[in-house]
């Protein structure tokens, strides 16, 4: 059974994309504050959260690996895409284009092309592994695909929460479906913390985090975003192997 492991990076859309009514709605909580300092701080907080909402942000990168072969692709929006090339990656990467570890970096003209290419690959896989994908990545790409009218090839990735097929969300598995709440023995940690605990190289070890994506995008450092996203996926693959060997089957 072929398994794909993937992660996405997102970035907030410009405020000018939203009309006056939408902006009023987005910043309503800030508008209720009378203190100027507090109001500005709340607006900044809301602006940061906008990168996490599919109706106010976009997918700028998707990295994916075959869990067994570790071959895969990184799709990312970039200005240096090649016109006239393939509009989506093949089911198996071209070895001539693949970099170290059999991973092909593929710049895309825009988000719609990126998502189209992703779903073209996803249809070849029976199952999917993520870290917090049930809560973020999967609903995000479902909604962005719907907004852009991009056909979704896998509509069962949310499925039944208490199952690991077709979707194994490691954030759910390592908390045993939040069995002990926020502060109990199985409280949730972020991917960086789990990686360090299990002796896996953290994707943040190179000094880049998800909070840097917007800045890197503005600076046109598209490849750096892609490489960071791939590090996230490599770490998730290693964490998946540990879960599968040591914890899978616990009920």
pLDDT tens track for 117-169:
999 999 999 999 999 999 999 999 999 999 999 999 999 999 899 999 999 99
Provide the whole-model pTM: 0.90
**Of 242, 160, 225, residue with least CA distance to 7:** 225
Three-class SS state of 203: helix
Please report, rounded to a whole number, the percentage of residues in the chain having pLDDT higher than 70.
92
- Flag whether pLDDT at 79 surpasses 90: no
Q: Is pLDDT larger for residue 182 or for residue 6?
A: 6
Radius of gyration in angstroms for the set of CA atoms belonging to the chain, rounded to a whole number = 19
Classify domain 3-8+63-246 at the CATH class level. Answer: alpha beta
Q: Where are the domains of the chain?
A: 3-8+63-246
pLDDT number for residue 83: 46
pLDDT number for residue 82: 60
Question: Which residues, 6+ apart, have CB-to-CB distance to 7 below 8 Å?
Answer: 62, 63, 64, 130, 131, 133, 137, 229, 232, 233, 236
Q: How far is CA 60 from the centre of its chain?
A: 9
Tell me the HSE value of 35 on the side-chain side, using a 13 A CA sphere: 4
Distance CA(7)–CA(64), nearest Å, equals 7
**Of 200, 207, 131, residue with least CA distance to 167:** 131
Q: Is pLDDT larger for residue 92 or for residue 192?
A: 192
Other Cβ atoms less than 10 A from the Cβ of 61: the count is: 27
């Amino acid at each position: 059974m072929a398994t794909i492991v993937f992660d996405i990076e997102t970035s907030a859309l410009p405020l000018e994309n939203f009309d006056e009514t939408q902006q009023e709605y987005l910043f309503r909580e800030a508008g209720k504050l009378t203190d100027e300092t507090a109001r500005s701080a709340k607006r900044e907080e809301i602006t940061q959260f906008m990168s996490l909402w599919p109706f106010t942000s976009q997918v700028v990168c998707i990295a994916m690996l075959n869990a067994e072969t570790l071959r895969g692709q990184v799709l990312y929006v970039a200005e240096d895409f090649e016109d006239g090339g393939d509009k989506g990656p093949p089911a198996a990467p071209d070895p001539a284009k693949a970099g170290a570890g059999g991973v092909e970096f593929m710049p895309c003209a825009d988000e719609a092309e990126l998502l189209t290419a992703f779903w073209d690959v996803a249809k070849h896989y029976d199952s999917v592994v993520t870290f917090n994908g049930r809560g973020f990545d999967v609903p995000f790409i479902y909604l962005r695909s719907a907004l852009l009218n991009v056909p979704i090839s896998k509509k069962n990735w949310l499925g039944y929460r208490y199952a690991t097929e077709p979707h194994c969300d490691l954030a759910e598995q390592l908390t045993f479906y939040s069995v002990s709440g926020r502060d109990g023995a199985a409280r949730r940690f972020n991917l960086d913390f789990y990686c360090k605990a299990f002796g896996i190289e953290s994707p943040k070890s190179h000094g880049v985090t998800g909070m840097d994506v917007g800045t890197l995008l503005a600076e046109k450092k598209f490849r750096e975003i892609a490489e960071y996203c791939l590090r996230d996926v490599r770490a998730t693959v290693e964490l998946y192997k540990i879960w599968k060997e040591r914890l899978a089957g616990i009920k």
